[in-house]
Structures are given as structure tokens and as C-alpha cells.
Amino acid sequence: MTDDFSAKKASAAAWFRSLRDRIVAAFEELEARATPAGQTPVTFEVSPTTRADDGGGGIMSVLRGGRVFEKVGVNWSEVHGALGERAQKAMTARGVPGMADDPRFWASGISLVAHMVNPHTPAVHMNTRMFWTPGASWFGGGADLNPCIEYPEDTAHFHAQMQAACDAHDPAYYTRFKAWADEYFFVPHRGRARGVGGIFYDDLNTGNWEADFAFTKAVGAAFLPAFLPVTERRLNTPWSEADRETQLIHRGLYAEYNLVYDRGTKFGLETGHDANAVLMSLPPVAKWT
């Protein structure tokens, strides 16, 4: 596969950045509505990120100490370079052809993790991305909800939005990608899932790039309709110190998963991307019993 993907790469990177802009604006608007009159709402701190060896970079956007979000990061990146030996072996094991002969790669995507103030409001993760090598290209991503105090109607709403995004492109996608999420977001050493799931997919290359990109865009576009209503429903629910304790312990589970198992964390650190951006997903405060 020659690098005739220049226009497609540019299109994907632009979409992921536009989605980042849309989500940041929506979260800041939510914070503004939750801030008492006369007080200044908390906004995102935005900084550029870089990859080692001048291999591109991105935008790290983090909001801390809000009325709604204790910490939320919405990152966009477009990076390129040559994969190291460990990453090449991992890609080869996944069936990516030609890595030993040409280790070049390009990747772009959006990554989001939100840790909430109110323990009744669920944490959430979402990412979508495109990956290219000279031998193959594919899309991946998904979203999963991580409540420490679960409300079945919130879980049902989130899954319904993800299913609608899947069903519009392939009626088999939701069942397949929900099962993948249930497996992927399982924490083996704890014997439990980190949340109530969602969808997860990777290595998506059906042979129709436009269709795969359209599906990936649909997943990203479904995020705000899936998450904002749940957040707004629980925003003013009274909570106790016991609720906060439950939240902090659940955050410990989330941190364990991201540091031990998450593919994106491993890939970002192994390929020299900005460590602060890679570890943006970690909660601001967590607790272990």
C-alpha cells in the first residue's frame, strides 16, 4: 500500500479536531450553566503536545476543578514516525503486514476521559482514531460509561445512543462491538468490569474506507447525545461522604485499568508522545482500600 492516503489522512485528522472543538464547547457551556451568577466559570486549559523526534503532536485540553467536572481531558493528536521494535512486534502479532520491512506509521484521533464532581454522575471515556501504515490502515474507537453508583436508566440511555450509531451502518455492529467492549474493559486482576460498558472496536477495515470513516464519525457524533442527558439528570443529586468514598475507590479501579491494560496508554508511551497527554486519563484523586 503506497502513501496515497494523504487526502484521507487530512480529512480524518480534521474531523477528529472538529469533534474535539465541539465537545470542549459543550462542556464549557455546561460548566457555565452550573456556575452561580456572579462567579467565573472554569474553562479548559489548552496546550500543544509534541511527539519525540519531531513526529507531529496535538492539543491537550484539560478542565480542572469545575462545578460539573472535577477533571476532564479532551485531547486531539496527529502523529507520525517509525514504530519501535516492541510496537512493530505488537502490530505484526495483530496481523498488520509489512512491519518488519517498513515501520512507518501515521495516526490521528480524539481521546476523552471525564471524572465528575458528583458521585452520582458517571465518569466516561470516548476515543476514535485512524491508524495508517504502508501495509494497512484502519479505524478504531468506542465509548464506555463508568458510574460508581449505577442507575439502570442512565446505562440504558447511553447504550441506546451507541446502538443507534451502530445500527445506522451495520445491524451486526452493536452486538459485536458491545461484546468487544465487555471483554476489553474487563479488569482481570479484580475479576470485574471497570464500568457498564458501551462499544469498542479496532482494526476496522472492511475494504470501504469511506464507510468505515462514516461509521467512526457516527460514533464520535453520538457521544454528546449519549452523555450530556445523563450528566444533566444527575448533576444536582445530593450526595454523601459515603458516596464520595465509593467514587474514589472506583477511580482506583479506573486508574489500574488504564495503567496496566489500556492499548492507547501503552502505545502513546512507547512511541514517545507527550506523557502528560497520554496520562490525561488518570483521575485527579483516587483511593484504594
What are the catalytic residues?
A: 125
Amino acid letter, residue 198: G
Query: What's the half-sphere exposure (Cβ side, CA atoms, 13 Å) at 29?
Result: 9
Query: How far, in Å, CA of 150 to CA of 142, rounded?
Result: 20
Evaluate whether 154 touches 230 at the Cβ level (below 8 Å).
yes
- Tell me the residue length of the chain: 289
Place of cell 445491524: 171
Are 23 and 61 in contact by the 8 Å Cβ rule? The answer is no
Handedness of CA 60, 104, 265, 120 (dihedral sign): positive
CB 214 within 8 A of CB 170: no
